[in-house]
Structure 1
Amino acid sequence: AIPHKERLATLPLFFSERGVTSFMIGIALEGGAERSSFTAGVIDALMARDFYAAAASGTSAGAGCVLNYRSRQQGVSLEMMIMERHSRYFGIRHMAHTGRFLNLDHMAQEYASRIDWAVYQQFAMQTDFVATCCEDGEPAYLTDDGSRHRLFTAIKASCALPIICEPVELDGKHYIDGSIADPIPFLHLLEQGCDKVIVVLTGSVHARPTDYTRLRPLLRQLYAKKYPMLYHAVLHRIARYEEQVQALEQAQREQRALVLRPQVKSIPLFTQNEDKIRAYYQHGCELVDQRWTEITAFLESRTLIQ
């Protein structure tokens, strides 16, 4: 379980080149497969400015960026996405050789070989990885509890795509991709005690999440009997996403949330075009630089509209 406000209150409010604010700051990272190269750019640009939030929550590919952020290693998330292009654990060519579109075990091993575990453990940032519980269809905010094995199991759970990945077991329960139950985990951070949240979205304003209803017969076969609540959650993910977008718009009006999202056309979710991935990453870096004055003003403002 995620610690509540009493625990969060003991953590740093946020660090940056400008100092420390009087607000508890969180950062919420949407998933989006290769579109999360934009998030990787945002995170690297924030780290370049020595900006670290008190709490970070990531869904699916966003979970990998949270891992990257807390370990304070610029470039790791981009490196992972570029590596995917070479089909070591992801894609059609990988499926042709292994029968699996995404090899979660290999993905976790690649992250484990790159992450500075000592820095990750020592850094006082509350982090969690959003997954969807198969048994009840609700979001689960998984933490590492100081265990390296548990950390990478949580990452696998958050990234386990519906249909093409087997559910990941942890503590006797089973999990798949967090984007089904909580694609934009900013409300979770506000509920845990953050006063303000930077929200990183991976698609342009016209982008829409994957609609699984067109795969209803396959979903019924896979989940309806064994995981009926998950089956319902997958079929209703678009409605849940739209509800979150409305809540996010309200949080922006209340000056509790600031959204960073691509201002260019979204790249395909599963593109293996390295130039597109790098360009999307660079756009994330540049957007932080362009909006840095706005970002710091948002973080330093004491105004919260009730």
Structure 2
Amino acid sequence: MGRECSTAEYIYQKAGGPEEALPFDWDAFQSSPADMRIVAFDAVSGEEVVWSKKDTPQIEDLMVRVRASSTMPALMPPVHLDGHVYVDGAMGEDGGIALSQAQRERFEKFVIVLTQESGYKKVPQRFPAVYRSIFRRYPALGEALLTRWARYNETRERIFALEEEGKAHVFAPDRMPVDNSTRNLSRLAAAHRAGLSQARRELPAIREFVGISEE
């Protein structure tokens, strides 16, 4: 009998496979001239890793990295890959919005999609000793989690400064009625509809920003 997979492994790694619930269009991905970046956090070294298309010759290589990049500490089991232990890239330098990586690659204009309202700010964790105890096997991860709020807030300030300079179009939800623990399907569906409606409203402005004319 094959090994049973966790919920996180199924959602982020298995569900996109051929003949699964949400099959990923691997042929279109391979044939596209566009590159991509996936960022994860090494729980042992405390360093970011950045993967690109060349690191994903097979769909399995892509999906395991997608899962690693999405693995929330404590809520999901870490991903073991090539001798490393990986969790969510949000633990890295920008707190979950990979602006610095894009700037290092010499991008100058950005379309940035946020998951929280424009006025949102993270706050420090209330019980740091508890987090250090939970992640005592991975102290670098524990410290990264405790300091993430500051990096995240600072990155958002940089993003809105870029928007003021005309160098970014920031898509921030008018309202975010769910969080990462919401399991009520009606609420999730309503949030999806609201986001889709807002995206349709803002699409002409995004097209204008990036220089794509209406067809």
Deviation at 1:134, TM superposition (A): 1.1
Considering Cα pairs closer than 8 Å and 6+ residues apart, tell me whether 1 or 2 has the greater RCO. Answer: 1
Long gaps (5+) in structure 2: none
Q: Distance in 1 between matches of 2:122 and 2:187?
A: 20
Q: Counterparts of 1:9-20 in structure 2 under 5 Å?
A: none
Residue in structure 1 matched with residue 108 of structure 2 by the alignment:
195
The answer (yes or no) to whether the contact 1:190–1:196 under 8 Å persists in 2 is no
The answer as to 2:133 corresponding to 1:221 is yes
Deviation at 1:210, TM superposition (A): 7.5
Residue in structure 2 matched with residue 231 of structure 1 by the alignment:
142
Give the aligned length: 200
Q: Percent identity?
A: 24
Long gaps (5+) in structure 1: 1-97, 302-306
The answer as to 2:103 corresponding to 1:103 is no
Once the two structures are superposed, what CA deviation does each residue of 1:130-174 show, in whole Å capped at 9, x if it has no partner?
211212323322234312222111011112111132321222221
Bigger drift between 181-190 and 114-123 goes to 181-190
The answer as to 2:57 corresponding to 1:146 is yes
Q: Distance in 2 between matches of 1:232 and 1:268?
A: 23
Q: Counterparts of 1:144-223 in structure 2 under 5 Å?
A: 144-181=55-92, 182=94, 183-209=96-122, 211=124, 213-223=125-135
Residue in structure 2 matched with residue 243 of structure 1 by the alignment:
154
Which one of 28, 39, 45 corresponds to residue 136 of structure 1? 45
Amino acid at match of 1:118: D
Which one of 280, 284, 291 corresponds to residue 202 of structure 2? 291
Q: Distance in 2 between matches of 1:250 and 1:138?
A: 27
Q: Distance in 2 between matches of 1:256 and 1:170?
A: 36
The answer (yes or no) to whether the contact 2:121–2:153 under 8 Å persists in 1 is no
Amino acid at match of 1:274: L
Amino acid at match of 1:103: T
Q: Distance in 2 between matches of 1:297 and 1:196?
A: 13
Normalised to the residue count of structure 2, the TM-score between the two structures is 0.81
Deviation at 1:264, TM superposition (A): 2.2
Q: Distance in 1 between matches of 2:84 and 2:117?
A: 34
From the superposition, tell whether residues 222 and 268 of structure 1 become closer, same or farther in structure 2 (CA, over 3 Å): closer
SS at match of 1:248: helix
